[in-house]
Amino acid sequence: MKIRLFFIFIALLLPSVANAQATKTLDDLNREKTRLLALIEQNNKMMEEYANRRDNEMMRISVVDDKIAKRQALIQVYTSEIQAYNTQIRTLNSQIDSVGQVLKRQKEEYAEMLRKIQARGGHNSPLAYILSSKSFSQSYQRYLFLRQYSEYRKDQFRALNETKEQMAQLKGVVNQKLTAINISLAKVNDENNKLSNELKVRKANVESITQSQTDLKKNIESAQRKTKEIEEKIVAVIREEAERARREAEEAKKRKKASTAKDKAKKSEIAALDALSDEIKENKGRLPWPVRSWVLTSAFGEHDHPLVPSIKISNNGIDMDILASNAIHPVHKGKVSRVIVIPGSCATIIIRHGDVLTVYSNLAEVYVKKDQPVDTYTNLGKVYNGGGINSNILHFELWLADKKQNPEDWLKKQ
């Protein structure tokens, strides 16, 4: 009897392990849902901020595009969740079939046992069966037999009830999974409806912009001319910084054996910069973004403008559409190398992290100064939000010496 119960336990345990693995997947999906819903909420806040602005079409499109992408990803997560629940239900139904077969066997064995008792004991009572013995020894043997048979019968009855309970529990879990599927299906329908509305908003915004393509093209070209002037200045500073780093490295070699206090201080400073370089490189792919919430509007490298394909964009970094209230922070500790202000344009901050430099551009206000040490908690300034194509846009670059890098390769995945 104990052996049979052991095998029943093993049969039930193995699918439970599979369910634990599936639950792990569902936990991952729940985390992904939470992440996407938070990002969509950020998009909603941006849309609210742009609601009362006259020149908001460009921003709205970038935010809506990002929101549509997140909504599609969210729908896929719900779909994957439904698939995971269906897999669990198939496993549970297989368990129910196995338990059902065990239950059928137990019922048959229990019925057979009752037939044997009936055949052996007939209609006589246990006491009469014992007293009808021919000797004391036989009556004692009959007593032991009846006691063991009674225990065996109780075990059979207990096993039968336990298996019935297991069957009921498994069916209850299946019903829970079916309820979860229905909830996820309702969410999919809800998200699809929202997605449909967002696609309509995008279409309306694109049509609005298309009607004024000439003005839009002029605005973009004007913004690009200003951006080019700023970018040329940034590149010049980056080259100066790279040359300065090269000279310092050469000086460090010369000062290697020097022993004056000035030399020691310089060597210590260079060693600190080298340590910064190593630290930021070790964290490549894990650096925090310079703002808490954002929408990527222009990727690194050369590509067509999303609304005016005839215009080419060559980006040394990335552009982010952000909330005006967002504080801007360095992506790693370092020292402010330059604060660049071109008349008629916004400010740019360059931060040095050893031989890695980061650039934060299109700032209306600057809260740091040259040579100031900074870390990821330092508020660098406030992005420009006075209207126009560049309003609420933070431009960010990352350079390794004088080689421009794709910032998305260095920052944490969204």
Domain boundary among 210, 226, 258: 210
**Mean pLDDT computed over 327-356:** 91
Predicted local confidence at residue 121, as pLDDT: 53
| DSSP, residue by residue, 108-154 | HHHHHHHHHHHHHHTT--HHHHHHT-SSHHHHHHHHHHHHHHHHHHH
233 in the same domain as 200: no
Last residue of a domain, one of 165, 185, 210: 210
How many domains does the chain fold into? 2
The reply to whether 345 and 392 lie within a common domain is yes
* 205 and 307 fall within a common domain: no
Mean pLDDT of 186-215: 74
Domain that holds residue 54: 2-210
Confidence of residue 353 (pLDDT cuts 50, 70, 90): very high
Question: Are 164 and 189 in a shared domain?
Answer: yes
Give the per-residue pLDDT at 123: 47
**CATH code assigned at 87:** 1.20.1050
Residues 280 and 167 in one domain: no
Token look-up 């590509």 returns: 303
Given this model, what pLDDT does residue 18 score? 43
341 and 192 part of one domain: no
Answer yes or no: is pLDDT of 52 > 80: no
HSE on the CB side for 84, CA within 13 Å?
21
Average the pLDDT over 222-230 and give the result. 76
Alpha carbons 303 and 312: distance in angstroms, whole number? 6
pLDDT computed for residue 214 by the predictor: 62
User: How does the average pLDDT of the chain come out, rounded?
Assistant: 77
Of the residues 146, 180, 210, the one at which a domain ends: 210
Tell me what pLDDT residue 114 has. 64
The angle that helices 136-210 and 57-121 make with each other, rounded to 10 degrees, is 170
Residue 165 has pLDDT above 70, yes or no: yes
Q: What is the mean pLDDT of residues 62-68?
A: 79
Phi, psi of 373 (to 5 degrees): -70, 140
Residue 256 has pLDDT above 80, yes or no: no
